[in-house]
Amino acid sequence: MEFAAVTTLNALTLISILLLVGLGLAISFGLMNVTNLAHGEFVTIGAFTVYFVQSLGGSFWFGLLAAPVVGGLVGMVLEYAVIRHLYSRPMSTILATWGISLVLQQSLELAFGLGAKPVSPPVEGTVDLIVAVYPAYRLILIGIAAATLTAVILLVNRTSFGLDIRTVIQNREMAEGVGINTRRSYAIAFAFGAAIAGLAGGLVAPLAIVLPQMGVNYLANAFFVVIVGGAGSIAGLLAGSVFVGGLTSILNYQISPSLAQALVLLAAIIVVRLRPNGLLGGAFR
């Protein structure tokens, strides 16, 4: 019983992170058709922001607030300086964003030096959940992720900005026809995805090994989430996160993490073969 509960909670922690990282990719890759290989660096930047704030004596919570702001700003600059010039050149986008990812990684390394950066959680200790004892911070993480996702759903479905974004994504020409500034909507959507990934980085910082190169693992996993779930809907994102996060957590108990990763990759590839539009693909396009 306890084992099952802990596994479930571990899976939920991973799923929460994947959801937040995957959200930005679902926007850029799934909806805008932009393959941003620098997406993982938004996570890294979020984590480094929390580390930097803490190292100056600031509180974790202030760092966590700053993380999405910094991530979003970097995303905005990236969109403005590079990505917007390459919307019709997918191969160039891949190469350019990969280059940017390397530049960001090395810049962080030059600025902060080699080695893992320590980030301490805002609350220590555990919570007794009757069926299991679980670290308090992980429960907070799951709660913040759930709240963020809810806020995003409300934003997209209930506000006029959300309506604009949905219109632009469904039919760019028509959106232009009715007077929506599509260029601006794309830029905002992109920066928004980057901000959420930055938040994810801040959240995961106390649990992860904070390194300039940490982003690529999140990048790969988040792409699996989007590919498996089927790009283009929050439900697909959820399905993908549950699939990748759940499978990874379960396998991690049985076998070594890298073998677990390989098996998740294999499973993702097989899902793609059987359902080329993702688990929930087709229904939302």
Partner 1 sequence: MTERDRNWLTLFATGLILLIVYPFFADGYQLTVIRDALIFGLFAASLDFFWGRTGILCFGHAAFFGLGGYVMALITLNGSVPLAGLVGLLGAIAAAALLAAVIGYFLFFGGIRGSYFTIVTLATGVICQQAAISWSSVTGGDSGLIGIPPLEIDFAGIRIDLGQDLASYVFISIIVAIVVLLLWQLSRGRWGKVLTAIQDNEVRAAALGHNASLRLLLTFVVSAAIAGLAGALYVCMAGLIAPDLSGLLLSTEVTVWVAVGGRGTLLGPVVGALVIQRAQQEISSFNPSLWPLILGLLFIVIVFALPDGVLSIFSRLKAIFRKTEPAR
Which residues sit at the interface with partner 1, rule CB under 8 A? 29, 33, 35, 37, 82, 85-86, 90-92, 94-96, 98-103, 105-107, 109-110, 114, 216-217, 219-220, 223-224, 227, 256-259, 261-262, 265, 268-270, 272-274, 276
**Complex with partner 1: residue 33 or 159, whichever CB lies closer:** 33
**Complex with partner 1: residue 98 or 161, whichever CB lies closer:** 98
CB of 219 to partner 1, least distance (A): 8
CB of 37 to partner 1, least distance (A): 8
Secondary structure, 3-state, the chain: CHHHHHHHHHHHHHHHHHHHHHHHHHHHHHHCCCCCCCHHHHHHHHHHHHHHHHHCCCCHHHHHHHHHHHHHHHHHHHHHHCHHHHCCCHHHHHHHHHHHHHHHHHHHHHHHCCCCECCCCCCCCEEECCCCEEEHHHHHHHHHHHHHHHHHHHHHHHCHHHHHHHHHHHCHHHHHHCCCCHHHHHHHHHHHHHHHHHHHHHHHCCCCCECCCCHHHHHHHHHHHHHHHCCCCHHHHHHHHHHHHHHHHHHHHHCCHHHHHHHHHHHHHHHHHHCCCCCCCCCCC
**Complex with partner 1: residue 1 or 91, whichever CB lies closer:** 91
CB of 279 to partner 1, least distance (A): 14
**Complex with partner 1: residue 88 or 160, whichever CB lies closer:** 88
**Complex with partner 1: residue 92 or 157, whichever CB lies closer:** 92
CB of 202 to partner 1, least distance (A): 23
CB atoms within 10 A of CB 87: 14
CB of 282 to partner 1, least distance (A): 13
CB of 166 to partner 1, least distance (A): 23
**Complex with partner 1: residue 6 or 220, whichever CB lies closer:** 220
